[in-house]
Amino acid sequence: MATLPAVLGLACLTLTASSCAPHRAVSDRATPPTWSLAVENHHWLDVEVYVMHGGQTTRVGLVTATMTQNFVLPTDLLVKGGGIQLAAHAIGGGQDLLSEVITLSGGERVEWTLERALRHGSVSVH
């Protein structure tokens, strides 16, 4: 059985060796890339916004009536080699809108305009 001085000596030696080891800089990959979604709501009702990706639906947030809301989203929501769809649901109005399929790789800005009649919404990617 090791004595306390021997254990302390080994711990000090380990700390000294690890402090001399070369340190790697934190890579840019530590922060996942993002993309942004700007939703301009011309509808008279508040609208909940969702991203549909890879068979899943993720709630993005709420856009108040006649307001614009910006969201910064992780690329985890983007399907590799496939596309996403945006979905909107007018709260209390029973109207829904599903965008066409959008293919993104990250870093892009998506602008989604929701009109008073949701079916007339439009999407652009920048």
The enclosing domain of 111 has a CATH number of: 2.60.40.2890
Q: Rounded CA gap, 109 and 102, in Å?
A: 12
DSSP state at residue 53: E
Summary count for the chain: helices (H), strands (E)? 1, 8
Residue 11 covered by a domain: no
Torsion of CA 52, 31, 37, 103, to 10 degrees: -50
Length of the chain, in residues: 126
User: How many domains would you assign to the chain?
Assistant: 1
Residue 107 covered by a domain: yes
Strand residue runs (E) in the chain? 34-41, 47-53, 56-63, 68-74, 84-90, 96-98, 109-114, 122-125
pLDDT < 50 stretches in the chain = 4, 7-8, 10-18
Torsion of CA 51, 75, 108, 81, to 10 degrees: -80
For 86-122, the pLDDT digits (tens) are 999 999 988 899 999 999 988 999 999 999 999 899 9
Provide the residue range defining the domain that includes 68. Answer: 33-125
- Say what the pTM is: 0.74
Residue 120 covered by a domain: yes
Residue 37 covered by a domain: yes
Residue 82 covered by a domain: yes
